[in-house]
Amino acid sequence: MIELYGARIASHLLLGTARYPSPAVLTEAVKRSATEIVTVSLRRETAGGRNGGAFFEMIRELGVRVLPNTAGCHGVSEAVLTAKMAREVFRTNWIKLEVIGNHDTLQPDVFALVEAARILTDEGFEVFPYTTDDLVVAERLLEAGCKVLMPWCAPIGTAVGPLNLSALRSMRAHFPEVPLIVDAGIGRPSHAAIVMELGFDAVLLNTAVAGAGDPAMMAEAFAKAIDAGRQAFGAGMLEPRDMAVPSTPVIGKAVFS
C-alpha cells in the first residue's frame, strides 16, 4: 500500500494513456495492469482538433483515479494555466507537473519546476513533480510543498532503463519517508523490478506499454515485475560480495574415508 496525499493506493503501477493503438487496447491494458491511477495529458488530447471530450469521458469510465499532467509545457505560466484547466475538467487537485527545459532530452527545467510547484501548491494543488535524480532539486520541491517526488531514471521514451543507480539509491536513502515514483526511461519489466528493489514506492509507465506488440500483456508483465521487486526489497536481499561463499557449510561436515 502506498499513501499519496492522503489516498491509500494498493497498486504500485501508474499507467499513462497516450499512444495506444485504440481505446479498447487502452482499456484492456488498464484492466490487466490492475493500476488504480492513470495519467492524462490535457494539452495533447485537445490539440489539433482531437475529440478530447470523448477521450476524457472514456477515461472516467475506467473507474480509476486520474492524474492529469502538464506534458508539453515549457514555462511556468503555461504549466500553471494547464494545471488549472485540468482541475476544471477532471475535478481533482492532483497534478503531475512537467516543465520541459530541453527539447532533445525532455529533461525538466528544474528552476521553473520549483517555481511552478510553489505557485500550484499555494493554490491548493497536490503536486506530483516530474524531476531529475538531483537531491538539491528534490529538497527545493519538498520545500515548495510537494509531498511526492517523481524522479526519472532516463529520458522520456528512451526505454534504456536506470542510467544512474547510484543517484536513485541515494535519493531513496535521503528521503526515506517521501513517496518516490520512478517516472520515464523504463523499457522492460526487469527495469521496473530493479528500481523497486531499491525501495521505490511505484513506477509510472506509458511508452513501454503502449508501444509494445501486445500492450495489455505487457501491462500485466510490468505489474508482476513491480510486485516481485517490491517483495524482494521487503524480504531483504543479499548484497553483492567480492568472494565466493559456499551455499553448503564445510565446517562440521562429515568426512568419509
Active site positions, annotated: 96
DSSP string computed for 65-94 = EEEEE-TT--SHHHHHHHHHHHHHHH--SE
Closest residue by Cα to residue 14 from 159, 192, 206 = 206
Taking the C-alpha atoms of residue 132 and residue 91, their distance in angstroms, rounded to an integer, is 28
Closest residue by Cα to residue 170 from 210, 137, 134 = 134
Give, as one character, the DSSP assignment of residue 149.
B
- Torsion region of 99: left, alpha or beta (phi above 0 gives left; psi -120 to 50 gives alpha): beta
- The answer to whether the annotation marks 192 as part of a ligand binding site is no
- The answer to whether the annotation marks 164 as part of a ligand binding site is no
Taking the C-alpha atoms of residue 164 and residue 132, their distance in angstroms, rounded to an integer, is 11
- The answer to whether the annotation marks 69 as part of a ligand binding site is no
What are the φ/ψ torsions at residue 63 (nearest 5 degrees)? 75, 25
What is the separation of C-alpha 248 from the centre of its chain, rounded to a whole number of angstroms? Answer: 41
- The answer to whether the annotation marks 185 as part of a ligand binding site is yes
- The answer to whether the annotation marks 145 as part of a ligand binding site is no
Taking the C-alpha atoms of residue 179 and residue 95, their distance in angstroms, rounded to an integer, is 15
Annotated binding site for 1-deoxy-D-xylulose 5-phosphate: 157, 184-185, 206-207
Annotated binding site: 157, 184-185, 206-207
